[in-house]
Structure 1
Amino acid sequence: MNEFIAWAKIRLSVDYRLIVIYCLVYFIWGLGMNWFGAQVEIAKFTFWWQVVTCYILYMVPISLLLRNFPFHMQYAYGLIAMGILEFGGYALKTSYAYPNNLMDQFFGERTFALGMALFFALYFPLGNWAVAKLYQSVCKPKI
């Protein structure tokens, strides 16, 4: 257990500007996805503020932990994290899946949460890539 805590501290000792960029990117991304999901009637959060708890308080720390792993490992670990989040969200009814939505029509209703987890697991490698590019362009290291 002590090894994990030490590993996590090393992985999370980052520039505060990087954390700010993560929070801004993920918050905007979360609001956009929640809006899109509601507009096309796929799925949405029950309350708008769940964007903060899901995207910032849950996904940002996971992204920070995974940021130096290769794409496939970020996706694999992200799939586990999103599987837990999707399962919990629909089981606790804090997320709402529209009946007979596009994903249900295309893949079948019993595969909805799995499809969502498979899709949203891409957030970790794609989000880490986007944030790294923004961080490098906005916060150029001083030589």
Structure 2
Amino acid sequence: MKKLINKHLTTLKTTPKTLLLVYVIVYFLWGLGMNRFGAEMEIARFTYWWQVITCYILYMVPISILLREYKFFEQYAYGLVAMGILEFLGYWLKTSYAYPDNVLDHFFNPQNFSLGMALFFALYFPAGNWFVNKVHSVIIPQKTE
């Protein structure tokens, strides 16, 4: 276990600073946008706006970096576990608010709401890694030797 933790810490520590900065900016803007969208559509929102920082930057960015070398479905599967835990804790601790009788409740019913949210948000890991890599390669072109 210690070996695995050290490997993950090394991966995080050796991530290029420019790549890390792109992750932080992209995920922060993405989180603000999704929180706003969820509130405007009266689906769900964070209880406090700053939870975008704790969830998207402090939780999702490191997980994304650890998953970035995996294939799409592996990123999605691991992301599903990570988002399942996050969604469960968010609604249990009441740090996330689901609007009653929201549009997703009508499609999937209230009992499936957080499962649906976890299934959707697990796509953030492969999609986020793809997008961040594209943005980073435009900003910092890779040297060909």
Which TM class, normalised by the smaller chain length? over 0.9
Question: CA separation in 2, counterparts of 1:43 and 1:127?
Answer: 21
Q: Which amino acid aligns with 1:119?
A: F
User: Structure 2 matches for 1:78-93, cutoff 5 A?
Assistant: 78-93=79-94
Flag structure 1 segments of 5+ consecutive residues without an equivalent: none
Q: Which amino acid aligns with 2:118?
A: A
Give the SS at the match of 1:96. Answer: strand
Question: CA separation in 2, counterparts of 1:27 and 1:100?
Answer: 28
Q: Percent identity?
A: 61
Deviations along 1:4-36, whole A, 9 cap, x unmatched? 023213422110010000000000000000000
Hey, what does 1:2 align to over in structure 2?
2
Deviations along 1:41-87, whole A, 9 cap, x unmatched? 00000000000000000000000000010000000000000000000
User: Structure 2 matches for 1:77-116, cutoff 5 A?
Assistant: 77-116=78-117
User: Structure 2 matches for 1:1-143, cutoff 5 A?
Assistant: 1-12=1-12, 13-142=14-143
Question: CA separation in 2, counterparts of 1:82 and 1:8?
Answer: 19
Question: CA separation in 1, counterparts of 2:47 and 2:36?
Answer: 12
Q: TM-score, normalised by structure 1?
A: 0.97
Structure 1 residue ranges (4+ consecutive) displaced by more than 4 angstroms after TM superposition: none
Question: CA separation in 1, counterparts of 2:66 and 2:33?
Answer: 24
Question: CA separation in 2, counterparts of 1:54 and 1:6?
Answer: 23
Q: TM-score, normalised by structure 2?
A: 0.96
Aligned length: 143
Question: CA separation in 1, counterparts of 2:94 and 2:63?
Answer: 23
Give the SS at the match of 1:69. Answer: coil
